[in-house]
Amino acid sequence: MKILLIAYEFPPILAAQALRWFYLSHELSKLGVEVEVVCPDISPVNTFPMEVDDRIRLHRAWPGPFIGLSQVVAKKIDDGTEVFTDPALRHGPSAAIRCYRWIRSVLDTLVYPDTRSEWYPFALSKVRSLIKDNHFDVVISSHEPAVDIFIGKYAKQLGIPWIIDMGDPLLTPYSPRWRRGLDLRVEQKVIREADHIWVTATSVLDLLRLRHGNDVGEKISIIPQGFPEYELKRCVKKKSSKFHMVFTGNFYKDFRNPEKLASALKRIVDVDFLFTIVGDNYSFAPLFQGMDNVRILGKKDHFFCLNMQREADILINIGNVQSFQVPGKVFEYLGAERPILHIRMSDNQDIGADIIEESCAGFSINNDVDLIEQAIRDLYQKWKDNSLDSFIIRNEEIIKKHSWKSRAELCLLSLQKVAGK
């Protein structure tokens, strides 16, 4: 079987979808699938730290004038690797970064659905050439960004089976107000036209059924995020000198806000702990101001994060407000083999919490200052008494089903069905 993947976010870009397709493409290759990828010719400052397997053929296309030219400037600026401690919290992004972000925000309101759509003509030209010279059994559009979907639609017009790896719906709670009506109409159109759709959670399937009718569920499969297979190997962790809590990922003001976590940590002045935050979280640094036992490391590469997770005594995860979205870090945390403290943000179903509890990999609490404080104190006491690891008895049989290898096997079954093989 031969597939063509259209993926704007693909290594060396370091993003959730890039990680997803880095691992899925490698695992599919191991299963005998020929994978070719159309992706942008981008070399960001923070790049994916691992080479793509030689069996995967990459076809890079210029990302467009704004992204293409601005990345030349971006390479000269490292805006996310500084360790922020008092008084460094007072320092903001450089003038060049602030200018770039302002221009991009303006363009995002002028170009539908965002600036990355400027890649469309260059990627489409590459796809046309590849389809002309090759036979592909299936074409896959990775989302987001939505430009991948617009390009993949061309393959559908030629009669090639088309799968959308949707991830988030096109219409989300954080979609700008000005385009929500348009997002809904586009979402409806592409769902009807695609041969098959992959989503990451049952809640996304339920949401799409509610919006577009129960019949759309017949063409939707659930392919969640995962974790690298080698993480299944047991690790031996030496006890650290301080109770070490780790969060890797990004905070968001509207749906993954650490404000109450920060308030709880400020109360725990009698506990000797270290809290390490890895991710693009500079704007939240003031919440932790005055706390010498909190360090914000900024953006780090993927494998730095995996190692940091394994070095933790406790992994902190904050769920999303929107119930249809599961942070990919939940699955990485499962592979890290460390106890997980999950903070629920949603008033409805929290799939991340369900996965953690079903796997017996940790436990969850509501986003309440008192509850967070008490949970951390209890975990600290167990760490101090050397009973933390025995407190969490993981279900490894369930956990291994969340590996990327298992996800790729589900993908292959779906691909074979769509391709009629």
Same domain, 212 and 344: no
Same domain, 239 and 127: no
> How far apart, in whole angstroms, are the C-alpha atoms of residue 246 and residue 293?
12
Q: Which residue range forms the structural domain that includes residue 279?
A: 229-402
Same domain, 165 and 300: no
Cβ atoms of 182 and 190 closer than 8 Å:
no
Same domain, 255 and 375: yes
The pLDDT value recorded for residue 332 is 93
Same domain, 277 and 331: yes
Same domain, 259 and 216: no
Tokens (6 digits) for 303: 């494998």
Cβ atoms of 162 and 153 closer than 8 Å:
yes
> How far apart, in whole angstroms, are the C-alpha atoms of residue 357 and residue 340?
10
Same domain, 198 and 274: no
Compute, in degrees rounded to 10, the torsion defined by CA atoms 4, 130, 147, 104. 120
Same domain, 348 and 414: no
Same domain, 274 and 171: no
Same domain, 234 and 327: yes
pLDDT tens string for the chain (421 positions)?
999 999 999 999 888 899 999 999 999 999 999 999 999 998 876 667 778 889 999 999 999 999 988 877 666 655 444 444 443 444 556 677 778 788 888 888 888 899 999 999 999 999 999 999 999 999 999 998 999 999 999 999 999 999 999 988 898 877 888 889 999 999 999 999 999 999 998 888 999 999 999 999 999 999 999 998 754 444 555 667 899 999 999 998 888 999 999 999 999 999 999 999 999 898 899 999 989 999 999 888 888 899 999 999 999 999 888 766 777 889 999 999 999 999 998 877 788 899 999 999 999 999 999 999 999 999 999 999 999 888 888 999 999 999 999 999 999 999 999 999 7
User: What is the number of structural domains in the chain?
Assistant: 2
In order of 27, 73, 341, 354, 412, the CA distances from 232 in angstroms are 15, 40, 20, 20, 22
Same domain, 183 and 253: no
- Look up the CATH number of the domain holding residue 198: 3.40.50.2000
> How far apart, in whole angstroms, are the C-alpha atoms of residue 303 and residue 52?
14
> How far apart, in whole angstroms, are the C-alpha atoms of residue 112 and residue 146?
9
If you count them, how many residues does the chain have? 421
Best CA proximity match to 399, nearest among 344, 331, 346, 343? 331
Biggest CA pair distance of the chain: 68
Tokens (6 digits) for 148: 């991948």
Same domain, 294 and 314: yes
